Amino acid sequence: MAQFTQDISRTFSEYLLIPGLTTEECTPQNVTLNTPLVKFKKGEKPSIELKTPFVSAIMQSVSDSNMAIALARNGGISFVFGSQSIESQAEMVRKVKKYKAGFVKSDANLKPTDTLADVMKLHEETGYSTMVVTEEGEGRGKLMGIVTSRDYRPSRDKADMLVRDFMTPYEKLITGTFGITLQDANDIIWEHKLNSLPIVDGEGDFKYLVFRKDYDNHKDNPNELSDEHKKLIVGAGINTRDYEERVPALVEAGCDVLCIDSSDGFSVWQKNTIDYVRKTYGDKIKIGAGNVVDREGFNYLAEAGADFIKVGVGGGSICITREQKGIGRGQATAIIEVAAARDEYFEKTGIYIPICSDGGIVHDYHMVLALAMGSDFLMMGRYFARFDESPTRKMMVNGSYVKEYWGEGSNRARNWQRYDMGGQNGLKFEEGVDSYVPYAGKLKDNLDVTLGKIKATMCSCGTISIPELKEKAKITLVSSTSIIEGGAHDVMLKDTNSNN
């Protein structure tokens, strides 16, 4: 007869937080959201610590280099999706590591022999008003000059006028030398009242632009997550099949942390993958594992050497694993049990292994519940898929803007390595769907609102840090009728789209 677990499989929506004492220090500006990403020994600090407790999901429709750059600049980490060629994934990682905040590669480039008509066309295509003029019209090579909107008047100048006749030539430009710090570049911009500063090397070849407007942008990202070389931190997903080829390429590209992408982490295939990383790189390369939903699964991966462990099976908004296979567990129940196992392991060994809640988030307050129940950080797909920075198309559907969003187990992705059960068989049935999510705009704008809600909720709990939240939060089960009570009820809502 099968073993029966008496705990009911519960979701975040079945719980509420009870207010704690809000003291004078419990204000949003005092709340810190720092949290460990990888394991550490008691009394020591983790080698990687998040400033925002979010990581983006290992999905084609979520995590590419653009998302990784945007999220790292805001204190989190993206795990670049692994269901692509080793070469293209490594190149995405390399692009993130090469990114320098404030130093911008030019995507709007001209040749001296181009015309004003070419300038106007390029402006219409890119929206950029500052354009770099090089010998070959590319974002590299000998800098010949700069064109801005102040250099021409479309209403009076002829469309066939050559760029070399109205650009600001190189000899009249103020430039910075390649290798200059961002602070020094900004000092030159302010001293000479410039809107932009071209950066060139000793041969006069163009490298970057630094914009005055990016000075404020840099100040707006105080939580930027970078390594000791001031390069953004980035993760990458791997599978349990081609890791002996994929991992070295990702390490060479500069990847900071790996994560095994699997729907079922309680498997010998994950242990084998971790064993390879440890044998090849020791503890230098960090690797997360998962997903699991109970104490036994956590302990298996902890003993295997995982640096963090993901929790959750079947709770993602595009996941249909529970429908297809009857496998999974309510996300709240899974987090509670695994967090208890994590704490027991810490008491026994003195090693703290962070856990990541993956799936089950519907409302922003669910994020606080997940953290209060013991999660150290959250992995989310749908949340990030809505933003400009995700790699999918923005479309108009039924009068509203949406973005495409599909699961790694869908027929579209066909990432069968994620559902590897050993042997030679590939994906035989879908465990994810192809869908849309409402378009929401820029990541930073939405993230600021979400983090504001989290901080306000934590203050209402009488806490100003994630460890304190775990220790002091009070949580209650809710009935179906109390859920109804929690929303707008017994009133006639106004039509907000009305002109009245």
- Identify the pLDDT of residue 198: 95
pLDDT grade, residue 500 (50/70/90)? very low
The percentage of the chain sitting over the pLDDT mark of 90, rounded to a whole number, equals 71
DSSP string, 364-386: HHHHHHHHHTT-SEEEESHHHHT
- Say whether pLDDT at 489 is over 50: yes
Rounded Cα distance between 215 and 101, Å, is 10
Q: Are 114 and 159 in contact (CB under 8 A)?
A: no
- Identify the pLDDT of residue 410: 63
Spell out the residues 6+ positions from residue 404 whose beta carbon is closer than 8 angstroms to its own.
Answer: 61, 392, 393, 395, 434, 435, 436
Spell out the residues 6+ positions from residue 127 whose beta carbon is closer than 8 angstroms to its own.
Answer: none
Rounded Cα distance between 161 and 154, Å, is 11
pLDDT grade, residue 499 (50/70/90)? very low
Rounded Cα distance between 294 and 330, Å, is 11
Rounded Cα distance between 260 and 278, Å, is 14
State the residue for tokens 């498997």: 267
State the residue for tokens 């030539």: 169
- Identify the pLDDT of residue 257: 98
Residue-averaged pLDDT of the chain? 90
- Say whether pLDDT at 170 is over 70: yes
pLDDT average, residue stretch 353-375: 96
- Say whether pLDDT at 439 is over 80: yes
432 bridge partner residues: 319
- Say whether pLDDT at 498 is over 50: no
How distant is the alpha carbon of residue 175 from its chain centre? 34
pLDDT grade, residue 299 (50/70/90)? very high
Catalytic residues: 319, 418
The per-residue pLDDT for range 20-48, each reduced to its tens digit, is 999 999 999 999 999 999 999 999 999 99
Least confident of 222-236, 266-280, 389-403, 426-440: 426-440
pLDDT grade, residue 96 (50/70/90)? very high
The per-residue pLDDT for range 247-266, each reduced to its tens digit, is 999 999 999 999 999 878 99
Give whichever of 148-152, 395-399, 459-463, 481-485 has the largest mean pLDDT: 459-463
Comparing 357 with 410, the larger pLDDT belongs to 357
Q: Are 107 and 77 in contact (CB under 8 A)?
A: no
State the residue for tokens 């950029």: 128
How distant is the alpha carbon of residue 430 from its chain centre? 25
The percentage of the chain sitting over the pLDDT mark of 70, rounded to a whole number, equals 89
Comparing 380 with 411, the larger pLDDT belongs to 380
pLDDT average, residue stretch 306-316: 89
How distant is the alpha carbon of residue 56 from its chain centre? 4
Give whichever of 189-198, 298-307, 415-424 has the largest mean pLDDT: 298-307
